[in-house]
C-alpha cells in the first residue's frame, strides 16, 4: 500500500498524496504515526514562510508526532519495534510513516491516549525549555503566561504550577478562563488588559508578541526574566531600556526548530526526565480542542488558523 501523507501543493494548500515509503538511516527510527499535533510552524511552512531544516521533507508538514516504532536503523539502540514514542521533528509528521532521529524520541507512558501523546512534544518541550532552562523558574516565584489557552500556554500553566510557582495567566475569551484556572494550583486568570496591575512577576512567558512588551517590562519584578517564544500579534516592540535596567531584568527569545539535532536531543532528554513522569502520573495533560482524520488535514489547518481554541488541534490516524 502506498504511503499517504499530507502534501503541500500549489505552494499554499495541502492535499493527501501518495509518497515513497521513508527508510530509517543510521541512528533513526521509522515510526507509524498515530497522532500529529498541529502548530503555527506547520501553517507557515505550507504558506512558504518557514522552510524545514535540512534533511526534513520539504513538502510534508508536521513537527510533532506520536506512534509506534516499526523499524530501527543501524546504531539506534534505545527503542525497539512496537515501542510507543513521541517526538518533536524537523518535519514530515503528518504522514502514515515518519523517520525520527532516535535522540529526539521520548517514550509514551502507558495509558496516555494517542491524541494527547501527539499534542505533547512541541507544547511541553517549548514551555519547559523557555520556563526552566532559559528563565530558571523556581519554587514560589511569580509567573505570567500570556495567551494561556493555546497549546504551549496550557502546557506552561501546568508546568508553572508543577514547579511550585504562583501563576497568572492572560486569556482573552472569558468562557475559557475557568478552564485555564483549573489547570493547576495557585493559578489566577485575568483579562489581557489587566495583567500589569496583577503583577509584579519574576518570569513572563510571552506567547503573543510585541503589544505586551512595554507592559511586561513595567510589571517585571527585580531580577525578573522575560522569555519571548511567540510573536503572532507582532514582532517589533519599543521598550524603555532604563526601566529594564532598573529592574535588573533580562529578555531571552528562542525557537526550537532552527536548533541543531544535538541541541534538540538535549531538550528532549530534559523533558523526558522532568515532564514525562508528570504526564505518566496524570499531573499534567494535553487539552485537545479538536481531532481530525488525516484526510481532513485542510479542515484541521482551518480550525487551527481560526484561533479561539482551548489546547491542541491534532490529526489522528
Contact, 117 vs 66, CB < 8 A?
Answer: yes
Which overall architecture, per CATH, does domain 123-253 show?
3-Layer(aba) Sandwich (3.40)
* Other beta carbons less than 10 A from residue 82's beta carbon: 8
Q: pTM for this structure?
A: 0.96
The full set of domain ranges for the chain reads: 3-120+259-316, 123-253
Asked whether this chain's domains 3-120+259-316 and 123-253 adopt the same fold, the reply is: no
pLDDT, one tens digit per residue, over 147-194 is 999 999 999 999 999 999 999 999 999 999 999 999 998 999 999 999
Name the grid cell of 41: 510552524
pLDDT confidence of residue 185: 86
pLDDT, one tens digit per residue, over 116-144 is 999 999 999 999 999 999 999 999 999 99
Whether domain 3-120+259-316 has CATH 3.90.180.10: the reply is: yes
* Other beta carbons less than 10 A from residue 254's beta carbon: 14
pLDDT confidence of residue 1: 62
pLDDT band, very low/low/confident/very high, at 315 (cuts 50, 70, 90): very high
Mean pLDDT of 102-109: 98
178 to each of 170, 175, 190, how far by Cα in Å?
12, 7, 10
pLDDT confidence of residue 126: 97
Name the grid cell of 17: 498524496
| Interhelix angle 121-128/151-162, nearest 10 degrees | 50
Amino acid at each position: 500500500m502506498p504511503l499517504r501523507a499530507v502534501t503541500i501543493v500549489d505552494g499554499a494548500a495541502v492535499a493527501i498524496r501518495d509518497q515513497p515509503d521513508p527508510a530509517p538511516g543510521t541512528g533513526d527510527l521509522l515510526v507509524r504515526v498515530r497522532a500529529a499535533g498541529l502548530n503555527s510552524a506547520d501553517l507557515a511552512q505550507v504558506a512558504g514562510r518557514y522552510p524545514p531544516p535540512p534533511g526534513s521533507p520539504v513538502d510534508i508538514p508536521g513537527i510533532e508526532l506520536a506512534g509506534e516504532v516499526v523499524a530501527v536503523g543501524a546504531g539506534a539502540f534505545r527503542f525497539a519495534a512496537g515501542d510507543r514514542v513521541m517526538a518533536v521533528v524537523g518535519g514530515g509528521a503528518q504522514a502514515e510513516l515518519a523517520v525520527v532521529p532516535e535522540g529526539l524520541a521520548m517514550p509514551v507512558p502507558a495509558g496516555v491516549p494517542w491524541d494527547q501523546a501527539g499534542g505533547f512534544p512541541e507544547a511541553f518541550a517549548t514551555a519547559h525549555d523557555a520556563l526552566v532552562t532559559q528563565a530558571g523558574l523556581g519554587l514560589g516565584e511569580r509567573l505570567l503566561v500570556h495567551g494561556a489557552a493555546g497549546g504551549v500556554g496550557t502546557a506552561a500553566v501546568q508546568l508553572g504550577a508543577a514547579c511550585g510557582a504562583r501563576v497568572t495567566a492572560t486569556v482573552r475569551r472569558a468562557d475559557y478562563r475557568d478552564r485555564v484556572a483549573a489547570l493547576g494550583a495557585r493559578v489566577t486568570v485575568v483579562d489581557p488588559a489587566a495583567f500589569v496591575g496583577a503583577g509584579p512577576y519574576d518570569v513572563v512567558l510571552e506567547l503573543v508578541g510585541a503589544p505586551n512588551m512595554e507592559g511586561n517590562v513595567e510589571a517585571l519584578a527585580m531580577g525578573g526574566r522575560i522569555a519571548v517564544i511567540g510573536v503572532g500579534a507582532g514582532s517589533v516592540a519599543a521598550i524603555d531600556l532604563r526601566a529594564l535596567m532598573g529592574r535588573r531584568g533580562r529578555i531571552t527569545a528562542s525557537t526550537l526548530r532552527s536548533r541543531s539535532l544535538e541541541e534538540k536531543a538535549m531538550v528532549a532528554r530534559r523533558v523526558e526526565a522532568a515532564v514525562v513522569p508528570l504526564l505518566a502520573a496524570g499531573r499534567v495533560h494535553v487539552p485537545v480542542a479538536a481531532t481530525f482524520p488525516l484526510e481532513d488535514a485542510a479542515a484541521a489547518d482551518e480550525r487551527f488558523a481560526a484561533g479561539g481554541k482551548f489546547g491542541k488541534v491534532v490529526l489522528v490516524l
